[in-house]
Chains A and B, each alone.
Chain A
Amino acid sequence: MMRTPLGQVRGLGAAKSGTEHFWLQRLTAVANLALSLVFVGVVIALSGSSHAGATALLGNPWIAILMLLFVLSATIHMKIGMQVIIEDYVHDDLLKLVALMANAFFAVVIGLAAAFALLKISFGV
């Protein structure tokens, strides 16, 4: 019996994740609006600062928590955003796969490195 691709999926319903990226991009955008104010404030406060001054401010629990939230929200936001750009402009299948993978790696490395640095400053050692 011949089954078309449409026939194979008919009745299974939607994948239920179609708007996930759209929603996550808006969610993190709103979070970024508030958290980037904290980030800009911290950067201004630490412009030309000594190491002791920087670690004292970044090690403050409130500042550290807000900075960690900013890192989380911003890395999710930038990962999705770059994925959209790649999907729009990279048409070669293999190159697209490589670019999408590199994008995911970059976002994870940036997020983890920033989080590790902030935690190390907070916990001393």
Chain B
Amino acid sequence: MDSPHAGSGRPLSPHLQIYRPMLSMMMSIVHRITGGALYVGTLLIVIWLVSAASGPSAFSTVQAIYGSILGQLVLFFYTWALVHHALGGVRHLIWDVGHGFGPERELLYRVCLFGGIGLTVLIWIVGYVLKGAAG
């Protein structure tokens, strides 16, 4: 018993690596990860807005970077993070008012998971169609 932590022999509660991955826990983890990604990604929004406030040359540089393949890829995943986190937030709001704890809980996860992907693709299709229509 030389250390109060390691050698005490007291039982510890099991942590993440003990459990088989389940949809509920994965969605909870992804909600946090998307929240963190959106947090960092606000930098992209601020850079975009400040460049627009700075003038035409700064704005066209940022538009070109965001419009590049890598830029579009980052923005696509940023859109997904936003939609997924928003739908997950709705799930939490439903729980907050005391609903969604029965068998329908699984449905809520699936709506969030597949709805998040579906809506993201839809947003980008709409974006590209409108851009194409504008020339």
Contacts and interface: CB of A to CB of B under 8 A. Distances in A.
Given A47-B67, A48-B131, A78-B38, A26 B52 contact: no
B41 to A, nearest CB: 10
Contacts of B101: none
Interface stretch (A4-12, A90-98, A117-125): A117-125
A76 to B, nearest CB: 12
A120 B53 contact: yes
Contacts of A58: 49, 52
B93 interface: yes
A33 B86 contact: yes
Interface string A51-81: 1101100100000000000000011001001
Contacts, number: 80
A interface, how many residues as a size bin?
20 to 34
Nearest to A22: B96
A64 B107 CA distance: 37
B59 interface: yes
Contacts of B131: 47-48
B56 A85 contact: no
A121 B86 contact: no
Interface residues of B, number: 32
Interface string A107-125: 0001001101110110000
Contacts of B43: 110
A14 interface: no
Interface of B: 32, 35-36, 38-39, 42-43, 45-46, 49-50, 52-53, 55-56, 59-60, 63, 67, 79, 82, 86, 89-90, 92-93, 96, 123, 126-127, 130-131
Given A50-B56, A51-B59, A85-B35, 7 more contacts: A30-B93, A44-B126, A78-B35, A85-B32, A85-B36, A116-B50, A120-B53
Interface of A: 26, 29-30, 32-33, 36, 40, 44-45, 47-52, 54-55, 58, 74-75, 78, 81-82, 85, 106, 110, 113-114, 116-118, 120-121
